[in-house]
Amino acid sequence: MTKKTYSLMLHGGAGALDNISSGKEADEYMASIQRVLEHGRTILAHGGSAVEAVEVCATDLENDPLFNAGCGSVLNEDGHVEMDAAIMEGVKLAAGGVAAIHNIANPIQLARLVMEHSEHVLLIKGGAQRFAKRHGVEEIPDEYFITEYRLKQFEKAAQSGQVILDHESADADNKFGTIGAVAYDQNGNLAAGTSTGGIVNKYFGRVGDSPIIGSGVYADNATCAVSATGYGEDFMRTVLAKTASDLIEFQGLDARQATAKAIQYLTDKVKGRGGIILIDRHGLCAAGYTTKRMVHGWIEHGGESICTFK
Ligand code: GLY
């Protein structure tokens, strides 16, 4: 009998990240990813499910203002936070997502409620807010979400009239976009989750790839679990998370081969900007990106946790 094991991967965004690729800020990002990986380990090592690990890890990252999700979300053209998130599990391909929501501390938790307590996959704006209220999810005041850093970033973007990626801002103030988690539990089940504030100065009502099943997130026990980060429109146009899964399903590729080929596809088709983390049905971890760097970390088969900017 093979030994039961678990794997976990996280990302905190992709981009040039030149200004934080070393030094104190880099240490803060690495420490946060490391801390969340170890939190996820406590769940998976004790027999918790992949869905639980993904939800808990994504919640931790949403609660850390360093990242563009939850309380650190970027601002839209009106100077407001609008967030997207989705979660998916690989047993039954159950999925839930929320888009263009506001004043919800943990969009990933609301996405899980949609997955488990509705017959729908995706709820947006007022519909998602109403669903949250029905399920006792409280609305949190704006002050919780809008950090000083995000206000300055938005003002610069608005002045220059640009819609920009969090990690490729107008003044080369290269920062992140999106958080994500993928997990493989001791029962061999996979799950994936992605959560984001989107892109800086985006149109009111713009929805990115993160809540779109198959674009920014995907999980199927027969193939893999994937979470994406980067310029959402590129990932939507290439349905990249499902493309990576299909490479395993139909071409029999392993985690690293499928990730490399999916990233090549992203480049060839749309010169896409961003990356993915992926765990395959054997618990093997892989990461790929077209940007200079991606903040990510992993635990493969219960081994040591590894975090990197590279
Ligand atoms: N990948 C996050 C977004 O474009 O919204």
pLDDT for the residue numbered 1: 46
The answer to whether residue 145 is domain-embedded is yes
Q: Which residue is catalytic, options 2, 59, 147, 178?
A: 178
pLDDT means per 10 residues in the chain (310 residues)? 86 80 80 97 98 98 95 93 98 98 98 98 98 97 85 76 58 62 98 96 96 98 98 97 98 98 98 96 97 95 93
- Per-position b or e across 30-39, b if 16+ CB within 10 A of its CB: bebbeebbee
Give the DSSP H or E segment for 9.
strand 7-15
Place of tokens 């071409």: 251
59 given a catalytic annotation: no
Cα 173 from Cα 154, distance rounded (Å): 12
The answer to whether residue 201 is domain-embedded is yes
The answer to whether residue 2 is domain-embedded is no
- What domain range includes position 149? 7-308
Place of tokens 């892989």: 286
* Pocket flag, ligand 1, residue 209 (CB < 6 Å): yes
Q: Tell me the pLDDT tens digit for each residue of 210-254.
A: 999 999 999 999 999 999 999 999 999 999 999 999 999 999 999
* Pocket flag, ligand 1, residue 68 (CB < 6 Å): no
pLDDT for the residue numbered 172: 37
Cα 71 from Cα 65, distance rounded (Å): 5
pLDDT for the residue numbered 53: 98
- Nearest alpha-carbon partner for 12 in 54, 88, 66, 63: 66
Cα 18 from Cα 42, distance rounded (Å): 33
pLDDT for the residue numbered 173: 41
The CA distances from residue 55 to 48, 279, 296, in Å, are 11, 16, 17
Q: Which tokens is 295 given? A: 């903040």
**DSSP for residue 71:** G
pTM (global) more than 0.85: yes
pLDDT for the residue numbered 298: 98
The answer to whether residue 177 is domain-embedded is yes
The CA distances from residue 61 to 92, 181, 206, in Å, are 26, 9, 22
DSSP β-bridge partners for residue 192: 88, 182
In sign, the C-alpha dihedral spanning 274, 64, 302, 27 is: positive
Q: How many domains does the chain have?
A: 1
* Pocket flag, ligand 1, residue 215 (CB < 6 Å): no
Q: Which tokens is 215 given? A: 């674009």
CATH of the domain at 272: 3.60.20.30
CA-198 nearest atom, ligand 1: 5
The answer to whether residue 168 is domain-embedded is yes
The answer to whether residue 1 is domain-embedded is no
Q: What angle do CA 200, 203, 206 make, to 5 degrees?
A: 95
Cα 63 from Cα 141, distance rounded (Å): 15
* Pocket flag, ligand 1, residue 231 (CB < 6 Å): yes
